[in-house]
Amino acid sequence: MSENSLSISELEELSYYDFMGYMDVPFFNIGGAGSIDRLAELSKISKDSNVLEVGCGTGGNSCYLAKKYGCNITGIDISEHMIKKAQRRANQLDLTSLVTFQIGDAYHLEFPPNSFDVVLTVFVSQFLDKQLAFPEFYRVLKPRGRLSINEIYKADEVPLEAVDKVREGERTYQELTELPFKINSPTEWRQAFETNKFIKVFVEEFPNFQQQSLSLNIISEFGGWWKLIKTIGKMLSLAIKSQKIRSRFGKISKGKQLLLRDKDAAKYIGYILVIGEKPELTRFI
């Protein structure tokens, strides 16, 4: 059955990411293109770079990097629907000579050791067990290659009035995605890199989600107002027909409210760029 003819019951059984891929909803990096450019700068991405994006979603970041920097980039995602949309995006932008998309598992990367100059994740590593994923990222990186992430973080010190809301937001996204969603502090992100043998770890924080403007990024990522309106209409139609889908949308709204809009919690939540380098191979004489 084609993705355009899935029944309500089939849609209800899709994983969160497959469902969002079916809905053609892009995944946003909170910092917009500016944060991706900064990540590329810190990662030293150029036309000679071979890049792996883990959790590429519908391919927005991969295609942006390939088009702007001329790098070769492979995007992987666990969602078949996301990969289909990403491939369509690459075709439409005439980037298939630079960008490749395939279904993949962050815990079992199907690439040989020392394959990539850069491994990057955007709003993905916080959903991963880092003790399983980071060793795989390390393995496929070349010596002096870089792991570069753009993720959510919480302040090292969160006051009591905000702690419960942050924890409830984490639980909501865990239930929604059925993944181990956890918001790390800058100290915890640094420790995750260093524990997994990365060196020269650099951390750059962009605090306070309430100060981040997302509206123009969202409209652009959707492909304009008309496509955004169509997607919202499709969501409303499905929500009316299915209590399970309605509950899923409710959890999305609840999670965003707790972490991104709440006056107590959001000021302690932001996005963070972290870059770590794989050491050069040690030569034994």
Please give the mean pLDDT across all residues of the chain: 88
Amino acid 216: pLDDT? 42
Does residue 45 or residue 212 have the better pLDDT? 45
Express each pLDDT in 141-177 by its tens digit.
999 999 999 999 999 999 988 999 999 999 999 998 8
Residue 13 domain-assigned (yes or no): no
> Treating both helix axes as pointing N-terminal to C-terminal, what angle do 80-92 and 60-69 enclose, rounded to 10 degrees?
30
Order of strands, edge to edge, in the sheet holding 50-54?
99-103, 72-77, 50-54, 116-122, 141-154, 269-277, 199-206
Q: What is the pLDDT of residue 23?
A: 78
What pTM was estimated for this model as a whole?
0.87
Residue count (the chain): 285
Q: How many domains does the chain have?
A: 1
The answer to whether position 193 is within a domain reads yes
Domain assignment of residue 175, given as a range: 25-277
Query: Does residue 1 sit within a domain?
Result: no
Does the pLDDT at position 257 exceed 90?
no
The CATH number of the domain holding residue 202 is 3.40.50.150
Residue 270 lies in a domain: yes
Structure tokens at 37: 């450019």
Q: Single out the residue of 281, 244, 238 nearest to residue 142, CA to CA.
A: 281
Residue 166 lies in a domain: yes
In a domain, 17, yes or no: no
In a domain, 117, yes or no: yes
